[in-house]
Chains A and B, each alone.
Chain A
Amino acid sequence: MIWLTWRQFRGSATMVAAVLGVLAAALALTGPSLASDYAAGIADCTPDDTCLDFFDRFFGEYDLLFLALTLVVLMLPALVGLFWGAPLITRELEAGTHLLVWNQSVTRGRWLAVKLGLTGLAAMAAAGVCGLAVTWWSGPLDRSAVPEMAQMAPVVFGARGIAPMGYAAFAFVLGVTVGMLVRRTLPAMALTLVVFAAIQLAMPLLVRPHLMPPVTGTFELGGENMDGLDAPSGGSVQIFLRTSAVPGHAGAWVLSSKLVDPSGRTISSGYGGAGPSSTIVRAVPVSTTSGPCSPQGLPAGGCTAEINRLGYRQQATYQPLERFWPFQWIETGIYALLTLGLTWFSFWWLRRRLS
């Protein structure tokens, strides 16, 4: 049975292995120089405290490649589900060859077990190799990325560490199960893609924020959580508050960020104009005719301190970067459970319905 499974699978397996091999080789060749560039840049910027500038420059130089690799890791599980999972059974059903193979001296359960086991392990290995190689290569970039592209950010998290393995195993078994239910390859592939994409969207939006209770904190305003002030007028200053960063917790995944007044009430007013991306604009009532927030006083830079003195704060809930690995394990565990559940269902369906 292993021979037959391998014989049917070897074409696409070899192709994927070749593509991943080339990718891994390219990453292995370029990774060390990327790491040494980063180390040199850090050594340069630390003495004169310009590392934020260095990060911007360094990340900006590689951001396209960074995004492309992240996308590859995110898409691999979906491709596995589409091209390995969905056709695994439907191809046999469409050609009628299930009737041939089910009448060899091998029970249907064993037939499915070998097919699922072998192809599923290959899927996990492919996603694992790809995910870990990209994680290793992206290390320096992850440390210098803008907050929206940090390791905990929804888009990046799923393309790092061990989670891709869990996604691939799940996508594969999802494809197999959908194939068994739908019995036709193309509809099964389409449905697999839709269901998998929906789950991959629902996970970071609905489930991942609550894997561990998020931390709530109140922070003074400063360069890390504020993207500047707008020219004061009419008795209030417009603040551009960042929604993806909190001071002192670099790389944290910020779930919500708002401006509160001295009594703790949320300030929701602000002029409707757009600020820089990933910010919200909030109006703080402060004297704009004299003092540090007046047009004359503003260049001196005391306005932020004045607003802090008056008691305005950023209030944010976030998942700190230290939770990256616990989250990876929990999320992979969830996908492993889903995979086991679907596997059980596919065996049950094979016995009860596909006969």
Chain B
Amino acid sequence: MTAVLAAQALGRKYGKRWALRECTIDIPAGHVVGLVGPNGAGKTTLLKLAAGQLEPTAGGITVLGGRPGTTPAQLARVGFVAQDTPVYAGLTVAEHLRLGARLNPRWDAAMARERIARLGLVPAQRAGKLSGGQRAQLALTLGLAKRPDLLILDEPVASLDPLARREFLQGLTEAAVAHQLSVLLSSHLVSDLERICDYVIVLADSRVQLAGEVDRLLAAHHRLTGPRRDPDQHVISASHTERQSTYVVRSDAPIHDPAWTVSRLSLEDLVLAYMDNRRTVLEVQR
């Protein structure tokens, strides 16, 4: 199966600043991929590059085997819900569906109508009068009803309250299963992604720090607690108190050294360890 997204040394510069650089990833199809990283890490840049909204400055990117955003056919295969879920304030909900139907050859009108009805959105209401959650749902409906093979969402839940957040992510998961589509979504909160993602990419400092299936990553990482000495394994992050040290290490082999107390990591621990990574490396060098 071809990769949904393959990037080679992908980079994008704004003026003199690199928003994303040396990004090489290969995401297989059929996953719900979480893109996580602190604010300003380059998440939006990567997603816009994948949706064809931006042109790369360096390297290359293919999405579903094609160059993003170049042809109507390619655009039809990739759905994109931008940050803050923009919709036309002056158009009604029904007009947004009409817009989708007019501009997308694979438009699923029945599904769109059914979704809008189930969400309780009033077709005659202007989109500018919708709440943040309703607007996000409308934007998601537009993204889903064009029947893409890959749906990209940039911080779709950032402006939603916890309840709306859960409903949105639940709806997204159901749709992903029902239509067998791959999903790539970003968030700066791991807890949003933990529930629905089975593949994760950690972006920090404009670079990809970690990418892989969640299960495998969790199986390959361990937290070691014990006396202060360098472990034999590859250290991702370290923290020290007077009495003991805690390391996050990567190792595919089981750890038998009795000096360490070994415990499993949650996804959040893992992601934070990688976001911390750079700072730790600097400290170790010192």
Residues of A within 8 A of B (CB): 1, 3-4, 7-8, 95-97, 99-108, 110, 352, 355
Contacts and interface: CB of A to CB of B under 8 A. Distances in A.
B86 A103 contact: no
Contacts of B51: 103
A100 B88 contact: yes
B88 A105 contact: no
B225 to A, nearest CB: 46
A97 B87 CA distance: 6
5 contacts: A4-B103, A96-B84, A103-B53, A103-B80, A103-B82
Interface of B: 51-55, 69-73, 75-76, 78-80, 82-84, 86-91, 95, 98-100, 102-106, 139, 142-143, 146
Contacts of A3: 98-99, 102
A100 B71 contact: no
B86 A96 contact: yes
A113 to B, nearest CB: 13
B144 to A, nearest CB: 13
A105 B106 contact: yes
Contact of A105 (B53, B72, B91, B143): B72
B146 A105 contact: yes
Contacts, number: 76
A101 B96 CA distance: 11
A104 B88 contact: no
The winner among B53, B55, B98, B146 for most chain A CB atoms within 10 A is B53
Given A103-B51, A103-B82, A103-B143, 7 more contacts: A4-B102, A96-B82, A99-B53, A99-B80, A101-B99, A104-B104, A105-B75
Given A355-B53, A355-B54, A104 B99 contact: yes
Nearest to A2: B102
Contact of B86 (A100, A105, A107, A355): A100
Nearest to B88: A97
Majority secondary structure of chain B interface residues (helix, strand, loop or mixed): loop
Q: Top 9 nearest A-B pairs by Cβ distance?
A: A104-B103, A99-B82, A96-B86, A105-B76, A103-B80, A105-B104, A105-B75, A97-B86, A105-B72
B142 A100 contact: yes
Contacts of A96: 82-84, 86
Contacts of A100: 82, 86-88, 139, 142
Contacts of A104: 75, 99-100, 103-104, 146
A231 to B, nearest CB: 71
Contacts of B55: 352, 355
A355 to B, nearest CB: 5
A104 B54 CA distance: 15
A107 B75 contact: yes
A191 B51 CA distance: 32
Nearest to B80: A103
A105 B103 contact: yes
A26 B75 CA distance: 50
A105 B51 CA distance: 12
B27 to A, nearest CB: 19
A99 B80 CA distance: 8
A106 B142 CA distance: 14
A150 B98 CA distance: 53
A97 B88 CA distance: 6
Contacts of A99: 53, 80, 82, 86
A103 B76 CA distance: 8
The winner among A4, A99, A106, A355 for most chain B CB atoms within 10 A is A99
Given A102-B53, A105-B75, A355-B54, A1 B103 contact: yes
